Amino acid sequence: MSKIAMKTPLVEMDGDEMTRIIWKMIKEILLEPYIELNTEYYNLGLTHRNETDDQVTVDSANATKKYGVAVKCATITPNAARMPEYNLKQMWKSPNGTIRAMLDGTVFRSPILVKGITPYIPTWTKPITIARHAYGDVYKNTEMVVKGGSKAELCVTNDDGTEERSLIHNFDGDGIIQGMHNLDSSISSFARACFNYALDLKQDIWFATKDTISKKYDHTFKDIFQDIFDNEYKEKFEKAGIEYFYTLIDDAVARVVRSEGGYIWACKNYDGDVMSDMIATAFGSLAMMTSVLVSPDGVYEYEAAHGTVQRHYYKHLKGEETSTNSVATLFAWSGALRKRGELDNTPDLCDFADKLEKATIKTIEDGVMTGDLYLISKLENKKKVNTREFLEEVNIRLKEMI
Ligand code: NAP
Ligand code: MG
């Protein structure tokens, strides 16, 4: 059998800990035997980020802009505990934050539904897709610790040099402040990305903020969404028989819990971070979620929604057996390969990606799964396998399909 060729390189962003181990296994067991893998490799492992003063992260994002499609492994966002562990020069920023800020755009996250795993919320019979704005707010903030006796103000210096000031607080005691921003252009492309995705999936789209409390910041999000919807999408939505629905974030949470699913929920950056973990967990597992960043100029970055699974990695380092779920990382690869195939017009690659996903789902529906799913699957003949065995079982089914 000749291997599938790739015309354009895929940007490959390697990562950390258990997901880095899984990354290597996926390539070895499920990709390299079938594809003449053509990737431009960036090592985003924390050690290498530290060695390059995080330049490698910036380079990988620029390569993504150049080639159009990337696949990213989960990476450590350093905290205080990581400083001595990795002997870091500084507490480097979140690579995801850096990449998202450079690419702008929206992250779409959908649960992967399989037979045998029923959501914790039994009315959720259809997937709920989270559309997370990937630019600004608290992820691009400036924070300060302030001493008692100080006065904090917001100050904007206009183009003509004049200043506008607004009091934040007169501090009697010590405290903290935070400044954050967003851009009309980024919010607009977020809105268009969401409306386009809704038309693509033929699903309703919900959007929620806290505009009653945040009368300028959040209200601007609400207004921009409404303007773009009224002027550009209203008729298209009517034709498609779908709806745009705006409500307050707390009302949205209550409605989501009572819903049956089957819509897209557009969230501001932080809300999307939190709610996608809630949705993923409620649908079964953090590792059963696809995640793709779509930039306004049509650049795609596929990743897993979960982290580096640190606890499993430490077990792995001690030589103990692990049973870590690789599905989200696998779907990051299949999503990226399919998109590369679509852009390059190489249907073999798209077909391979489809089969890889089918083989993965079939493996779990045949009752072969990792520990996280074993705990919640309602299948009768289920079997728990380790990290490597799961990928080998997927390969058995993939071979049959090819
Ligand atoms: P995590 O890696 O998502 O893992 C949290 C827990 O969720 C795990 O301990 C495990 O539970 C379960 N879990 C997550 N993914 C799993 C999988 N694939 N298979 C089986 N179980 C899974 O989050 P974390 O441990 O809080 O964070 C570890 C590191 O990841 C941090 O350094 C953080 O900065 C980074 N992070 C990176 C990204 C990213 O790059 N996209 C996102 C989030 C966090 P049990 O231990 O109970 O089995
Ligand atoms: Mg998160």
CATH of the domain at 319: 3.40.718.10
Per-residue pLDDT in tens (0 to 9) along the chain, 402 residues: 789 999 999 999 999 999 999 999 999 999 999 999 999 999 999 999 999 999 999 999 999 999 999 999 999 999 999 999 999 999 999 999 899 888 877 889 999 989 998 888 989 989 999 999 988 999 899 999 999 999 999 999 999 999 999 999 999 999 999 999 999 999 999 999 999 889 878 899 999 999 999 999 999 999 999 999 999 999 999 999 999 999 999 999 999 999 999 999 999 999 998 998 899 889 877 789 899 998 877 789 999 989 999 999 999 999 999 999 999 999 999 999 999 999 999 999 999 999 999 999 999 999 999 999 999 999 999 999 999 999 999 999 999 999
Among all ligands shown, which has an atom nearest to the Cα of 277? 2
Residue nearest to atom 38 of ligand 1 (CA): 307
Task: List b or e across 166-204, with b for residues whose CB sees 16 or more CB atoms inside 10 angstroms.
Answer: eeeeebeeeeebeeeebeeebbebbbbbbbebbbebebb
> Quick one: 146 and 241 in the same domain?
no
Ligand 1 centre distance from Cα of residue 379 (Å): 25
Residue 325 beta carbon below 6 angstroms from any ligand 1 atom:
yes
8 A C-beta contact, residue 152 and residue 177: yes
State whether 128 and 164 are in the same domain: no
| Residue 291 located in a structural domain | no
List beta partners, residue 290: 110, 304
Q: Are 221 and 258 in contact (CB under 8 A)?
A: no
1 and 98 belong to one structural domain: yes
pLDDT value of residue 330: 98
Ligand 1: residue whose CA is nearest its atom 45:
311
Domain residue limits at 260: 118-140+181-283
Asked if residue 324 has its Cβ within 6 Å of ligand 1, the reply is yes
Same structural domain, 72 and 193? no
Tell me if 289 is assigned to some domain: no
Left (φ > 0), alpha (ψ -120 to 50) or beta: where does 323 sit?
A: beta
Hey, what amino acid is at 108? F
CA 71 remoteness from chain centre: 11
Q: Are residues 133 and 260 in the same domain?
A: yes
- 211/351 same-domain check: no
Whether 33 and 81 map to the same domain: the answer is yes
213 and 155 both lie in a single domain: no
In a domain, 84, yes or no: yes
Question: Ligand 2: distance of its center to the CA of 223 in Å?
Answer: 27
Strands 175-179 and 163-170: unpaired
Task: Tell me the three-class secondary structure of the chain, residue by residue.
Answer: CCCECCCCCEEEEECCHHHHHHHHHHHHHHHCCCECCCEEEEECCHHHHHHCCCHHHHHHHHHHHHHCEEEECCCCCCCCCHHHHHCCCCCCCCHHHHHHHHHCCEEEEEECCCCCCCCCCCCCCCCEEEEEECCCHHHHCEEEEECCCCEEEEEEECCCCCEEEEEEEECCCCEEEEECCCCHHHHHHHHHHHHHHHHHHCCCEEEEECCCCCCCHHHHHHHHHHHHHHHHHHHHHHHHCCCEEEEEHHHHHHHHHHCCCCEEEEECHHHHHHHHHHHHHHHCCCCCEEEEEECCCCCEEEEECCCCCHHHHHHHHCCCCCCCCCHHHHHHHHHHHHHHHHHHCCHHHHHHHHHHHHHHHHHHHCCEECHHHHCCCCCCCCEECCHHHHHHHHHHHHHHHC
Atom of ligand 1 nearest to the CA of 372: 20
pLDDT at residue 104 in the model: 78
Query: Does residue 334 have its Cβ closer than 6 Å to ligand 1?
Result: no
Q: Is 9 part of a structural domain of the chain? A: yes
Q: Could you tell me if 192 and 173 lie in one domain?
A: no
Is residue 389 in a domain?
yes
> Are residues 261 and 333 located together in one domain of the fold?
no
Amino acid identity for residue 21 in this structure: I
Judgement on whether residues 126 and 231 belong to the same structural domain of the protein: yes
Of 283, 317, 339, the domain-final residue: 283
State whether the Cα torsion 80-76-107-394 is positive or negative.
negative
Q: Residue 266: CB within 6 Å of ligand 1?
A: no
Shared domain check, 356 and 217: no
Q: Is 327 in the pocket of ligand 1 (CB under 6 A)?
A: no
**What pTM was estimated for this model as a whole?**
0.86
List the residue whose alpha carbon is closest to atom 3 of ligand 1. 307
Residue 31 in domain:
yes
Q: Which ligand is nearest to the CA of 332?
A: 1
Structural domain includes residue 345: yes
| 109 is a domain residue | no
295 lines ligand 1 (CB under 6 A): no
Question: Which distant-in-sequence residues (6+ apart) come within 8 Å of 149 by Cβ?
Answer: 171, 172
Asked if residue 46 has its Cβ within 6 Å of ligand 1, the reply is no
**Count of domains in the chain?**
3
372 lines ligand 1 (CB under 6 A): yes
